[in-house]
Amino acid sequence: MARRETTLQAAQGRLRVLIENEFRPGDKLPNERELADHLEVSRATVREVLGQLAAEGVVTRTWGIGTFVHDAGARVPVSIGDVVALRDRITASGHQPTLQDASVTRTGCPADCADVLGLPPGAPVWQVDRLFAVDEVPAAWIRDHLPLSFEGRAIDPSGLVSIDLDLFEFLATATGMPVRRAEIEMAAILADEEAVVRLGVPAGHPLVYGTQIGYSPDGTPLFHGHLTVRTDVLTLKITRGG
């Protein structure tokens, strides 16, 4: 396993250098076979490296057309280092956020969510589904789960179907406990059938998938969610305080 990771890292490093030195934004890269010959690795390794670079927004892959060097100026940079509404992050970048689709329903709590919120699997929770667009282009699909109540205080998140109300704002008002810390675990994935429908991308399109947990100042989990992001529309920047 370590040897394979070393091969992938080396191939990715060489491909980054190749892109930086010989290509410009918008240029089409050679096909996988040509890149494999140039990098002296297998096509499978090239395919995996291209998937990693696509997830980072370095390249854009279009099914049946090819792989292109992405124009970073066309994407919206979004920092995830602070607990700030996605809506406000997009607006701060000079772009227009909208909700293309949103729903709030009661459902059974998924097992991973139940572990976080301290509920039995299948217990009733609120499910908040929102599809955010940037300048009318689908960009981020977020599905959050919230308990029906906090400390005996029933909550009603139906207002979250509007772009004017953010989850963090809602929780601070509804529970009296602001989201002070959010943890996000991210991974690169390829679009499945549901992501194709939601985000308007072809099957196999590279995406970033994250699991997010929001905590109150005393460490109480307030929500558990999943987000799927198009990195050809949004770039995710992580800022660490020092």
164 found inside a domain: yes
Q: pTM for the complete prediction?
A: 0.67
Kindly report the backbone phi and psi dihedral angles of residue 88, in degrees, each rounded to the nearest multiple of 5, phi listed first: -75, -30
Full residue range of the structural domain in which residue 127 is found: 75-237
What does the DSSP 8-state code read for residue 44? H
Q: What CA–CA distance (Å, rounded) separates 120 from 112?
A: 10
Q: How confident is the model at residue 35 (pLDDT cuts 50, 70, 90)?
A: very high
**83: helix, strand or coil:** coil
pLDDT for 55 equals 66
Evaluate whether residue 149 is within a structural domain.
Answer: yes
pLDDT greater than 70 at residue 39: yes
Task: Provide the CA 240 distance to its chain's centre, in angstroms.
Answer: 18
| Residue 242: inside a domain | no
User: Are both 130 and 49 inside the same structural domain?
Assistant: no
DSSP tag of 28: B
Lowest average pLDDT, out of 39-53, 59-73, 114-128, goes to 59-73
State mean pLDDT over 80-98.
74
CB 18, CB 55: distance < 8 Å: no
Grouping H, G, I as helix, E, B as strand and the rest as coil, residue 114 is helix
Query: How many structural domains is the chain composed of?
Result: 2
pLDDT score for 108: 96
Residue 192 predicted with pLDDT over 70: yes
Which pLDDT score is estimated for 73? 53
CATH of residue 36: 1.10.10.10
